[in-house]
Chain A
Amino acid sequence: MQTLALIGNPNCGKTTLFNLLTGTSAYVGNWPGVTVEKKEGMTNGHRILDLPGIYSLSPYSPEEKLSRRYILDEQPDLIIDVIDATNLERSLYLTNQLAELGRPLLLVLNMEDLLEKEGITIDAKRLSQMTGAPVVQISASKGTGIEALQAQIEKSLSEKKLPLCPLFSNFVERYISEIIGDDYLHQIPKGRQMRWAAIKLIEADELFLSSMPAPPPAFKTYIEKARKELEAHFEDDPEAIIIDQRYKVAEHIAKDCQIKKKTKKGFEFDSIATHRFAAIPLFLAIMAGVFYLSIGLVGGYTTPLLEELFAFLGEQVHLIADRFGVFPLLSGILADGIIAGVGAVLTFVPQLFVLFLLLSILEDCGYMARIAFIMDRMMRTLGLSGKSIIPLVIGTGCTVPAIMSSRTIEHQKQRELTVIVTPFIPCGAKMPVFALMLTYFFPGKWFIAPMIYLLGIVAVVVTGLLARALDRHKETNAFILELPRYQLPSPRNTWLQTRERTLGFIQKAGTIILLSSVIIYLLSSYSFTLQAVDAEQSMLAMLGKLIAPIFAPLGFGFWQASVALLTGIAAKESIVSTLSVTIGTANLGALFTSDSALSYMTFILLSSPCIAAISAMFKELGSKRKLLYAVLWQTGFAYLAALLVRLIVLLTL
C-alpha cells in the first residue's frame, strides 16, 4: 500500500480536500490551524494523511515539527502540496522546502473558483515547468477538479519523479556544493537529500544537528567559516539568509506564473466586523442571536412538544403492559428508565441541531479569526490570548473540540490557561439541565438563562485574573494570526458538520444515556438484598447518601442530586435523565427549591466537565498533576460559587 501526505499552509483547504478524497467528514473550519493532529484515511486503496497546516518546516512550532518528522521518517510515496491559489507566493515558500525532502511532489492549486474574483490568472503549465512537479487545479469547496487530481495521483505514484530543488544565489550555492562534497554528508539517514542536509548545516538547524553524529573537527571548522562568510556578505544570520533566498525563489516563480489585475474593492464586511466601536457590540449581538435562535426560538417551540410526546409514550407503555400483564420490572425499565431517561435528552435535539448549524456557519465563514483580532487586547489582561476566544465560542457547542482548538495558541501558559477555563463555558450537553430547571422553577423569567452564560464568563475572568496575579514572570509573547478571506460556508461542509455533531449527541443518548438510565432505574428499584423496594431504600439511595452530605450546604443534600452529578461525569446529558428517572421531571419541586435549583445549576455549570472533555484536557495539559489541579480548581470554584449564589438568593429573596 502506498502513502500520500497532504500538506500546505494553514487554512488552504487540506481538510476539505481530505474529506472529498476519503468520503469522510473530518472537522473543518475557516481559521488557521483547525487540524492540529494528523488524520488518516483511505483513498483509492492508498493511505492518505492530513497533516496540520504549516507555513514552513522550521524546528520551532509543534505542528511544524510534527509534519517535518512525519515526512522525513515515514517517507510518504507522494507529498501532495495544497496551495491556496490566491496566495501563491507565500505557498511557494513552503513548496520550496518540500521539494528538497527527496519525495515525489504534486502541487494542487486550490480555490481555483476564487481566482477570477480576485483578478488572478495562473499559468499552471509554467508553474509545473519551474517546479518540476505536476500541477492540478481544483476547488475543494466546490468539489471540482477532483477526478483530474485522482488521475494525477496515480500517475505520480507510478512515475516517482522528484521535483526540482530551488536554486539560490551563486554565493550561497557555492557553499552548498562544497558541503555536499564532504564525506560527512554520506552519513545522513538514507532517503534524505544531501542538498537538504547541507542547507540544514548552514542554518545550524537544532533538530537536524541533534539527529546526526558529531562532525569531524575540520569539517566543523569549515561550516563555521562558511557561516561567518555568509553572515559578512549578507549582513544577516545564516538562517535568515536561507529564508530570504527561498522567498526570492518563490517571488520569482510567482511573478513568472501569475498575472494579478487590480480588482475593485466592493463593500467589505470587515469595515463593520473589525470596526473600532462596532466590532465588539456586533460580536455580542451575533452570539446572542445564535443562542436566541437555537434555544429561545426553536427550543422554546419544540421542547414542550417533545416532552409531551415522551410522557405520552411512557403512559402508553404502562397501559399496554397492564392490559397484557407484563412483568412490572420490564415495563418499568422501558417506561421509567429508557423512555424517561433517553427522552429527557432527545427533547433537546432540535435546538442543538440549530446551535450546531449556526456555530458551523460561524466557523466556516472566516469570522472566528476576526473575533480573535478584536478581542486580543481584552483577553490579554486576563492572561489569555485573542486566540483563546475561539475555544470559548466553540465550547458553547461541545467542550472537546474547543479544548483541542486551543492548540494554535503559541504560548504554553496561555494555552494551558485556556484549556482550564474553556469548560466554564456551558456546552450543549449542559443545556438540558438548565432548561429543565428554569422552566420548572422560573417560568417566564427569560433573563436567568443569559445570566448562566454570564456566570461562565465571570468564572473565566476570575480564573484569568487570578492566574495572572500569581504568575511571577509576566512575559509577553507572540500573537500572529493570518486573517483568512471571508467565504460563504459550503452547504456540503455545513451539513456534514452539523449532522455529525447532532448524530453524535443522539448516539450518546442511544448508548451511554440508555445504559445509564437502565442501570439507574434498576439501582433505584432494588435494595442490596435484591428486594424490590421504594426508591428511598434502594441501592442507589444508599450510595447517593454517602456523598449527599457534602452538598447539604449548597441546598441539594439529597441523594438524587448527588447521583445525577456522578452520572454527569460520564456525560452531562445524564444529569437530566438521572433526575427524571429518580425524581421525575414533573416532581422536581418536591426536593429542589428555587435557591437550591440555582445553586445546583451553578455547580453543574462550573464543576469539572465530562470524561471526554477531561481526557481532552489531559492531552493538552500533558501532565497528570496539572490535570488534577485543573479539575480541583474547577470543582472547588464551582462549590464556592454555588454556595455564594445560594446565599445571595436566600438573603435577597
Chain B
Amino acid sequence: MHMTMDELTVGQTGAVKAINAPKQLKRRLMDMGFTKGVGVEVVKMAPMGDPMEVTVRGYHLCLRKAEASVIELR
C-alpha cells in the first residue's frame, strides 16, 4: 500500500503522486495546487489531532485527515 498525506507526522515532507477522490474533491484539491510531483510539508496538527496544517506551493492550508488520505505520496 502506498503512503498517503494523512500518515505524515509534523515536519515530514512528501511529493504528490496521485489523488484518489471523486471528481469534485479531486478538482478542488488540484485547484489548490496539489498536482503531481508537488512537494508538501506537514506543519502542525490541530489541538485534537485533526485537521492538519500543510504547506503546498509556498502557502499554508489546513484540511482534514479524511481529505489528506486521498492524496497519495511517493
Contacts and interface: CB of A to CB of B under 8 A. Distances in A.
A480 B61 contact: yes
Given A244-B35, A483-B62, A90 B57 contact: yes
Chain B interface, DSSP helix/strand/loop, else mixed:
mixed
B74 interface: no
B28 A60 contact: yes
B36 A244 contact: yes
Given A239-B27, A243-B27, A243-B30, A386 B67 contact: no
Contacts of B51: 373, 376-377, 386, 479
Contacts of A274: 44, 46-47, 53
A482 B60 contact: yes
Size class of B's contact patch? 35 or more
A287 interface: no
B58 interface: yes
Contact of B46 (A93, A369, A377, A478): A377
Contacts of B48: 377-378
A487 B26 CA distance: 31
A115 B62 CA distance: 23
A369 B36 CA distance: 27
A43 to B, nearest CB: 30
Given A93-B31, A274-B53, A476 B66 contact: yes
A55 B46 contact: no
Contact of B61 (A60, A374, A481): A481
Interface residues of A, number: 38
B46 to A, nearest CB: 5
A404 to B, nearest CB: 22
B53 A373 contact: yes
Nearest to B60: A483
B3 interface: no
Interface string A24-65: 000000000000000000000000000000011010110000
B17 to A, nearest CB: 11
A157 interface: no
Contacts of A93: 31, 33
Contacts of B62: 369, 372-373, 376, 479-481, 483
Contact of A483 (B33, B47, B53): B53
Interface stretch (A179-187, A276-284, A357-365, A545-553): A276-284
A247 B33 contact: yes
B29 interface: yes
B67 A479 contact: yes
B47 A243 contact: no
A372 B53 CA distance: 12
A236 interface: yes
A89 B50 contact: no
A376 B64 contact: yes
3 closest pairs, A vs B, by CB? A56-B31, A377-B48, A483-B60
Interface of B: 18-19, 23-33, 35-36, 38, 44-51, 53, 57-64, 66-67
27 contacts: A55-B32, A56-B31, A87-B57, A87-B58, A90-B59, A239-B27, A240-B30, A243-B30, A247-B35, A274-B44, A274-B46, A275-B47, A372-B62, A373-B46, A373-B62, A376-B64, A377-B46, A377-B48, A378-B48, A479-B51, A479-B64, A480-B63, A481-B63, A482-B32, A482-B61, A483-B60, A483-B61
Given A89-B33, A90-B59, A243-B31, 7 more contacts: A55-B31, A55-B32, A58-B28, A274-B44, A377-B50, A478-B63, A482-B59
